[in-house]
């Protein structure tokens, strides 16, 4: 009977009785045959070291310990997954080992699949978090570096404008043209990088306003007639007379799209022509669809490169100058405007870029923003410039003095500015944001909140800064700054902004 039980019922169970020293005093032969009577349990498997830590029973009820799902592997490579029950008696330890290897292995398949899928999703979530952090760091870096570079570029361009108006000989004029061209190129590269970081960050916003599309196209045509002449290229312009003039949209970005495409074509065309065609392909009561084609007789693009031509930092010829961002930005801007872009090209024959955009018709507004505002030349204005950089102080002073209508006081800190406005009446404050000590935002806030004298409290403030972050205008407005001008700027834009503020105060 004992033999029958051993074979039938206990083939998956091993019973072991131990002396208090861990010597096997009795066992059956179901499995692990090397665990024989007279051998030490501590030599059987390291699991049994646990016996040394199990307390002797203080009462008869708490002398049983169960260890489920223990892997018991042997030197002969046999391996079982067992539940182990241990009963600690006064002079003896009884162990029951239940072999559930098959059941546990089946269970493990399920847990393996479940764990793998959870691990994968957690890894992806973490990778995604890191990528977002990396992207944010990159965008912040670009915005900061752009700020650091905009300030000196702004000064260079401003002084060049002033220098151009002095008496120069022919050679000096030519040298200035070169410096101007190169600084504009530098400005364009950084402006492209900043645009791209804003687009990638999702903070890029189109600025819609009424504009004259035909004027815009004619202005482009006039600039590029001059630029193409320098490379002895023929510039052909074909503008559909059916195009509606008065439109509503982001004219700066439409200009940028055409501009970048023309620059790209000129870059890769050594002889022949550049052709700009603008057609109205659909007209509705509230909008028109236009097709802009820029065609060249340049080097063309390999067929296999056509799909990557709109990716960032891609240049289809290694001799190409520039940042490699121009076409990428065109594609992003076109998409932001709900339009499309295509390219066809044949090697050594040329390329044709086609952009289709839907542009709304002119909207009714109370003010014509495109109208130029004149300074009252009969009047004199007192302006306080709060700027700590000497070159920028000098540039702003020169730009203002050229107008002949300004008295100017210059201070380097917000604290000096407060003293000045308390002692003298000003018509306008030109304020830098980054100042030593109190910054421009806090100075503006102090002026708006601390003073009851309306001449101080309502002093028009224009912030001039290279700190061109996506929400800078909102931050300026929330601190009481009336207008913001990003560096680098042109003399014309600078004076326009000032004139607008001064005229508003005069009303």
Partner 1 sequence: MKLSKKITLIGPFGVGKTSLFRRYIDDEFSEDYKSTLGVQIQKKVIQLDNGVELSLILWDTEGHMEISEGRSAYLMGSHCFIYVFDLTRLDTYKNINPQLEFLSKNFPNIPVKVVGNKLDSVFKTKAIESLKEQNVNFDFLTSAKTGLDVETLFNEIAVQLTN
Binding flag, residue 129, partner 1 (CB under 8 A) = yes
> Can you read off the two tokens belonging to residue 293?
């084609």
Binding flag, residue 132, partner 1 (CB under 8 A) = no
The least distance separating partner 1 from the CB of residue 85, rounded to whole angstroms, comes to 10
> Which of 5, 15, 25, 118 contacts partner 1 by CB under 8 A?
118
Q: Which is nearer to partner 1, 107 or 390 (CB)?
A: 107
Whether 462 and 429 have beta carbons less than 8 Å apart is answered as yes
The least distance separating partner 1 from the CB of residue 131, rounded to whole angstroms, comes to 12
Q: 472 to each of 195, 441, 481, how far by Cα in Å?
A: 14, 11, 11
The separation between CA 151 and the C-alpha centre of its own chain, rounded to angstroms, equals 22
The set of residues, in sequence order, having a beta carbon less than 8 Å from that of 29 and lying 6+ positions away, is 6
Q: Which is nearer to partner 1, 64 or 365 (CB)?
A: 64
Binding flag, residue 107, partner 1 (CB under 8 A) = yes
Q: Which is nearer to partner 1, 108 or 317 (CB)?
A: 108
Q: Which is nearer to partner 1, 9 or 126 (CB)?
A: 126
The least distance separating partner 1 from the CB of residue 79, rounded to whole angstroms, comes to 10
Whether 16 and 97 have beta carbons less than 8 Å apart is answered as yes
What dihedral angle (degrees, nearest 10) is formed by the CA atoms of 54, 58, 63, 66? -50
Binding flag, residue 98, partner 1 (CB under 8 A) = no
Q: Which is nearer to partner 1, 37 or 79 (CB)?
A: 79
Q: Which is nearer to partner 1, 80 or 497 (CB)?
A: 80
How far apart (Å, rounded) are the C-alpha atoms in residues 67 and 44? 17
φ and ψ at residue 296, rounded to 5 degrees: -140, 165
How far apart (Å, rounded) are the C-alpha atoms in residues 306 and 328? 13
Q: Which is nearer to partner 1, 103 or 347 (CB)?
A: 103
Whether 44 and 35 have beta carbons less than 8 Å apart is answered as yes
How far apart (Å, rounded) are the C-alpha atoms in residues 459 and 390? 24
> Which of 26, 29, 34, 115 contacts partner 1 by CB under 8 A?
115
SS3 of 304-363? HHHHHCCCCCCCCCCCCCCCCCHHHHHHHHHHHCCCEEEEEEECCCEEEEEEEEEEEECC
> Which of 34, 78, 112, 503 contacts partner 1 by CB under 8 A?
112
Q: Which is nearer to partner 1, 47 or 204 (CB)?
A: 47
The least distance separating partner 1 from the CB of residue 84, rounded to whole angstroms, comes to 9
Whether 254 and 215 have beta carbons less than 8 Å apart is answered as no
Binding flag, residue 478, partner 1 (CB under 8 A) = no
Supply the Cα-derived Rg of the chain in whole angstroms. 40
Binding flag, residue 111, partner 1 (CB under 8 A) = yes
Helices (H), 388-452: 390-403, 414-423, 440-450
86 in helix, strand or coil?
Answer: strand
Contact segment (CB under 8 A) with partner 1 among 12-20, 115-123, 218-226, 239-247 equals 115-123
The least distance separating partner 1 from the CB of residue 303, rounded to whole angstroms, comes to 39
The least distance separating partner 1 from the CB of residue 139, rounded to whole angstroms, comes to 17
For strand 350-361 and strand 246-249, is the pairing parallel, antiparallel, or unpaired?
A: antiparallel
Q: Which is nearer to partner 1, 7 or 129 (CB)?
A: 129
The least distance separating partner 1 from the CB of residue 96, rounded to whole angstroms, comes to 14
Written as one string, the DSSP assignment of 459-486 is --EEEEES---TTHHHHHHHTT--EEEE
> Which of 104, 211, 224, 268 contacts partner 1 by CB under 8 A?
104
**Among candidate residues 132, 133, 104, the one with its CA nearest the CA of residue 12:** 104
The least distance separating partner 1 from the CB of residue 94, rounded to whole angstroms, comes to 17
The least distance separating partner 1 from the CB of residue 86, rounded to whole angstroms, comes to 10
108 in helix, strand or coil?
Answer: helix
Q: CB-side exposure of 52: number of CA atoms within 13 Å?
A: 7
> Which of 15, 29, 130, 203 contacts partner 1 by CB under 8 A?
130
How far apart (Å, rounded) are the C-alpha atoms in residues 67 and 63? 13
> Which of 73, 246, 342, 503 contacts partner 1 by CB under 8 A?
73
How far apart (Å, rounded) are the C-alpha atoms in residues 294 and 220? 12
Binding flag, residue 102, partner 1 (CB under 8 A) = no
The least distance separating partner 1 from the CB of residue 124, rounded to whole angstroms, comes to 10
Helices 101-164 & 390-403, crossing angle to 10 degrees?
Answer: 50
Q: Which is nearer to partner 1, 111 or 317 (CB)?
A: 111
- Number of residues counted as binding partner 1 (CB under 8 A): 33
Q: CB-side exposure of 437: number of CA atoms within 13 Å?
A: 11
The least distance separating partner 1 from the CB of residue 90, rounded to whole angstroms, comes to 20
Restricting to residues 12-71, name those near partner 1 by CB under 8 A: 45-47, 49-50, 52-54, 65-71
The least distance separating partner 1 from the CB of residue 140, rounded to whole angstroms, comes to 16
Q: Which is nearer to partner 1, 121 or 335 (CB)?
A: 121
Contact segment (CB under 8 A) with partner 1 among 105-113, 260-268, 277-285, 322-330 equals 105-113
Structure letter (DSSP) for residue 23: B
The least distance separating partner 1 from the CB of residue 107, rounded to whole angstroms, comes to 7
Q: Which stretches of the chain bind partner 1, using CB under 8 A? A: 45-47, 49-50, 52-54, 65-71, 73, 81, 104, 107-108, 111-112, 115-116, 118-119, 122-123, 125-127, 129-130
């Amino acid at each position: 009977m004992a033999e029958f039980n051993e074979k039938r019922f206990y083939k998956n169970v091993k019973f072991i009785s131990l002396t208090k020293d861990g010597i096997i005093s009795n066992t059956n032969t179901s499995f692990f045959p090397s665990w024989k009577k007279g051998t030490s349990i501590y030599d059987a498997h390291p699991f049994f070291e646990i016996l040394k830590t199990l307390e002797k029973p203080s009462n008869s009820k708490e002398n049983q310990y169960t260890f489920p799902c223990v892997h018991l592997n042997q030197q002969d490579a046999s391996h079982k997954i067992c539940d182990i029950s241990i009963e600690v008696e006064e002079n003896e330890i009884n162990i029951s080992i239940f072999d559930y290897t098959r059941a546990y292995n089946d269970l493990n398949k399920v847990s393996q699949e479940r764990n793998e899928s959870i691990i994968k999703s957690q890894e992806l979530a973490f990778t995604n978090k890191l990528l977002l952090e990396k992207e944010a760091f990159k965008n912040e870096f670009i915005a900061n570096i752009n700020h650091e570079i905009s300030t000196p570029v702004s000064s260079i361009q401003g002084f060049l404008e002033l220098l151009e108006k002095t008496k120069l000989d022919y050679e000096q004029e030519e040298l200035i043209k070169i410096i101007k061209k190169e600084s504009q190129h530098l400005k364009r590269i950084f402006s492209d990088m900043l645009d791209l970081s804003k687009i990638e960050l999702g903070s890029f916003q189109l600025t819609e306003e009424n504009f004259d599309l035909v004027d815009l196209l004619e202005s482009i045509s006039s600039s590029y007639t001059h630029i193409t002449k320098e490379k002895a290229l023929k510039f052909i312009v074909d503008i559909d007379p059916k195009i509606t003039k008065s439109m509503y949209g982001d004219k700066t970005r439409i200009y940028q799209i055409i501009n970048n495409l023309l620059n790209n074509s000129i870059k890769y065309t050594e002889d022949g022509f550049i052709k700009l065609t603008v057609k109205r392909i659909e007209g509705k009561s509230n909008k028109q669809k236009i097709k802009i084609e820029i065609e060249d007789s340049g080097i063309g693009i390999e067929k296999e490169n056509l799909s990557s031509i709109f990716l960032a930092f891609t240049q289809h010829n290694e001799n190409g100058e520039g940042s490699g961002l121009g076409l990428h930005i065109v594609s992003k801007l076109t998409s932001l405007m709900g339009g499309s872009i295509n390219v066809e090209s044949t090697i050594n024959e040329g390329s044709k870029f086609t952009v289709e955009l839907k542009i709304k018709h002119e909207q009714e507004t109370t003010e014509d923003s495109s109208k130029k505002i004149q300074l009252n030349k009969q009047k004199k204005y007192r302006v306080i410039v709060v700027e700590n950089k000497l070159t920028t102080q000098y540039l702003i002073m020169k730009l203002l003095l050229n107008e002949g209508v300004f008295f100017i006081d210059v201070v380097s800190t917000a604290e000096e500015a407060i003293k000045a406005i308390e002692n003298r009446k000003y018509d306008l404050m030109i304020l830098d944001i980054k100042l030593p000590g109190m910054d421009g935002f806090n100075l503006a806030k102090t002026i708006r909140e601390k003073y009851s004298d309306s001449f101080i409290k309502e002093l028009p403030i224009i912030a001039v800064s290279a700190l061109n972050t996506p929400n800078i205008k909102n931050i300026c407005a929330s601190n009481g700054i009336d207008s913001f001008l990003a560096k680098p700027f042109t003399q014309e834009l600078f004076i326009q902004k000032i004139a607008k503020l001064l005229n508003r105060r005069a009303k």
